[in-house]
A and B are shown apart, each in its own frame.
Chain A
Amino acid sequence: MLALVSPALLVILLLIVLPVGWLAWQSIYHDGFTLENYRRVFTEDIYWRSFALTFEISLAVTLIALLLGYPVAYLANALPKGWSILILSLVVLPFWTSVLVRAYAWLALLQRTGVINQLLRYLDVTSEPLALVHNMFGTVVATVHILLPFMVLPLYATMQKIPGDLMQAGASLGASPSLTFCRVFLPLSLPGVLAGCTMVFVLCLGFYITPELLGGGRTVMVSMLVSRNVELYNQFGAASAVAVVLLASVLLIFLVVSRFISLDRILGQK
């Protein structure tokens, strides 16, 4: 049996474990051991600000995705099967479009001469085109769009497991629909909320294409810090240290969350 997994395992070892190990090594070793790279990451302004910005954006994206995703998952769960399949298909449809294609679509929609600005001017809402993209706003709009399915699917999976009789029981005991929702349904759906939020937050921490193309160069997320240090400045040690800190944050989050819900639940989707 071990012989059967070994080819796949070898690929994983050579192409992800070794490269990540290499990064870790390179972050502390350059003609001798040094913590210089980490000192820079933790003390220099550009690095600090980028990490703070990345966590801020991720938090905002997670909250917005939860606010938008919860009603959709709730409706898909409440409606008869045909409707819920339709809703879920619409949710996963963008999933199968390349992230790059969707970044292009948002550029086309949000730029100064884009669809939204033309529509707003046509309707006389604005006289000057709004700056909707090449800034934080555009980044968040497109990122939420890409990550929303990762929120809706675990929410829906959890809601499916909540027995419908519980709501009826609440109603029969005299509680209003909103009270039964708050006291029965919402608490029972929390594992799904946690799974969805974890996935969205963690994926957002490492996002690269959207902030690079829609952020206009000012929204420098951690992933862009890594790539710039490699491509523009040849600062391999610094890039590696940033990557290690990012990976450590991701693993730490998974570790903490896995104390509450099983990891399968978070990763089971796709």
Chain B
Amino acid sequence: MRASPARIVLYVVSALVLVYLILPVLIIAPISFSSARFLTFPPPSFSLRWYQQYFANPAWMQATQVTLTVALLTVLIATPLGISAAYAISQSKLRIMRLIHMMLLLPLVVPIIITAVGIFFVYAKVGLVATLPGLVLANVMLGLPYVIISVLAGMQSFDPAQEMVARSLGMNRLRSFFAVTLPQIKSSVVAGGIFAFISAMDETIVALFISGGQYQPLTKRMFTALRDEIDPTIAAISTLMTAASFMLVLLASSRQKKGG
């Protein structure tokens, strides 16, 4: 690697692009800890007032509760559904499985605004608008592809012959799956579940259309607040959300490194 002019340009451009990528992620924390109402540089003084406003506000707290409940329920439902679907896709030789596999990844292909409006119309007919089950179901659908992709990746490095051995020794299919297969793909399962959680926590567009009343997640309230005026309370919430996401991703990737 000689330091030719072309190479120096390459380094400088790449460094600038990386700064562009990282800066917005890093800028939020200082805003959230500043005492100023408007962002001034350098921040006048350290303060926790925006965090206090967040924790003292019943509307924000209720929204937080909705977000956490929805994300948790989403993981609890999407993970088993995703595991069984991924298992079937990887083991079955049926032709139709390829088509089913592609259909299960549809949530990644269809623009989310279209999904959101479509779900809104369907929910309006069956009375699921502004309900908790409605919000959870939509997030299960959106989270499924992450679980399926992650578990399928785990299944690829797993030797199905091991399960055959367990079955030839007299275990039934279900028991051999839980005793032999599942422990070996555990990391992929956990990673998939974590991605589904983050996806549900960050989901905004579907929530904008179908959530309301007391069942509004954080993101919907944040969006509405951002449209009206820029309130640094949102910086505090954003910082907490980002910290939560990063910790979960670290957890997922540290588990994936251990194998599976």
Q: Which residues of A contact B (CB under 8 A)?
A: 1-2, 4-5, 7-9, 11-20, 22-23, 26, 68-69, 71-72, 74-75, 78, 87, 90-91, 93-94, 96-109, 111, 113-115, 118-119, 122, 145, 148-149, 177-178, 202-203, 205-206, 208-209, 212-213, 223, 226-227, 230, 236, 239-240, 243, 246-247, 250-251, 254, 263, 267, 270
- Please report which residues of chain B, range 128-179, place their CB below 8 angstroms from some CB of chain A when the two chains form the complex: 137-138, 140-141, 144, 146, 148-149
Q: List A contacts of B249 (CB < 8 A).
A: 96
In the assembled complex, how far is the CB of residue A54 from the closest CB belonging to chain B, in whole angstroms? 11
**Is the CB–CB distance between A8 and B245 below 8 Å?**
no
**Is the CB–CB distance between B85 and A8 below 8 Å?**
yes
Q: List B contacts of A71 (CB < 8 A).
A: 10, 13-14, 17
Beyond A8-B81, A101-B242, whether A208 also contacts B114 by CB under 8 A is no
- 8 Å CB contact of B241 from A101, A115, A118, A208: A101
The 5 closest A-B pairs by CB, nearest first: A206-B111, A19-B118, A105-B24, A8-B85, A4-B88
**Is the CB–CB distance between A11 and B144 below 8 Å?**
yes
CA distance A77 to B234 in the complex (A): 38
Beyond A16-B106, A22-B118, A23-B118, whether A145 also contacts B24 by CB under 8 A is yes
**Is the CB–CB distance between A227 and B88 below 8 Å?**
no
**Is the CB–CB distance between B114 and A206 below 8 Å?**
yes
CA distance A251 to B114 in the complex (A): 13
Beyond A99-B204, A104-B226, whether A12 also contacts B104 by CB under 8 A is yes
CA distance A209 to B41 in the complex (A): 27
**Is the CB–CB distance between B226 and A98 below 8 Å?**
no
B193 adjacent to chain A (CB < 8 Å): no
Q: List B contacts of A75 (CB < 8 A).
A: 10-11, 14
- Please report which residues of chain B, range 36-60, place their CB below 8 angstroms from some CB of chain A when the two chains form the complex: 38-41
**Is the CB–CB distance between A17 and B106 below 8 Å?**
yes
Q: List A contacts of B104 (CB < 8 A).
A: 5, 8-9, 12
Beyond A15-B141, A75-B14, whether A102 also contacts B24 by CB under 8 A is yes
In the assembled complex, how far is the CB of residue A3 from the closest CB belonging to chain B, in whole angstroms? 8
Q: List A contacts of B23 (CB < 8 A).
A: 109
- 8 Å CB contact of B84 from A7, A68, A100, A149: A7
CA distance A97 to B118 in the complex (A): 26
- Please report which residues of chain B, range 111-125, place their CB below 8 angstroms from some CB of chain A when the two chains form the complex: 111-115, 117-122
- Closest residue to B250 on the A side, CB-wise? A96
- 8 Å CB contact of B202 from A100, A113, A251: A100
Q: List B contacts of A101 (CB < 8 A).
A: 28, 238, 241-242
User: Could you show 28 A-B contacts with beta carbons less than 8 Å apart?
Assistant: A5-B84, A5-B97, A7-B81, A8-B84, A9-B103, A11-B144, A15-B141, A16-B118, A19-B121, A23-B118, A71-B14, A74-B10, A87-B14, A90-B21, A94-B24, A97-B25, A99-B202, A100-B222, A104-B28, A104-B222, A108-B31, A113-B39, A203-B111, A206-B114, A208-B205, A227-B113, A227-B117, A230-B209
**Is the CB–CB distance between A22 and B122 below 8 Å?**
yes
CA distance A255 to B146 in the complex (A): 23
In the assembled complex, how far is the CB of residue B91 from the closest CB belonging to chain A, in whole angstroms? 6
**Is the CB–CB distance between A8 and B148 below 8 Å?**
yes
In the assembled complex, how far is the CB of residue B212 from the closest CB belonging to chain A, in whole angstroms? 12
In the assembled complex, how far is the CB of residue A181 from the closest CB belonging to chain B, in whole angstroms? 9
Beyond A72-B17, A102-B24, A270-B146, whether A8 also contacts B82 by CB under 8 A is yes
CA distance A23 to B41 in the complex (A): 48
**Is the CB–CB distance between B21 and A12 below 8 Å?**
no
Q: List B contacts of A17 (CB < 8 A).
A: 103, 106
B258 adjacent to chain A (CB < 8 Å): no
**Is the CB–CB distance between B81 and A11 below 8 Å?**
yes
- Closest residue to B219 on the A side, CB-wise? A100
Give the most central of A4, A26, A239: most B CB within 10 Å: A4
- Closest residue to B202 on the A side, CB-wise? A98
Beyond A22-B122, A96-B249, A113-B39, whether A246 also contacts B114 by CB under 8 A is yes
CA distance A115 to B112 in the complex (A): 32
Q: List B contacts of A148 (CB < 8 A).
A: 17, 21
Q: List B contacts of A78 (CB < 8 A).
A: 1
B110 adjacent to chain A (CB < 8 Å): yes
**Is the CB–CB distance between A4 and B85 below 8 Å?**
yes
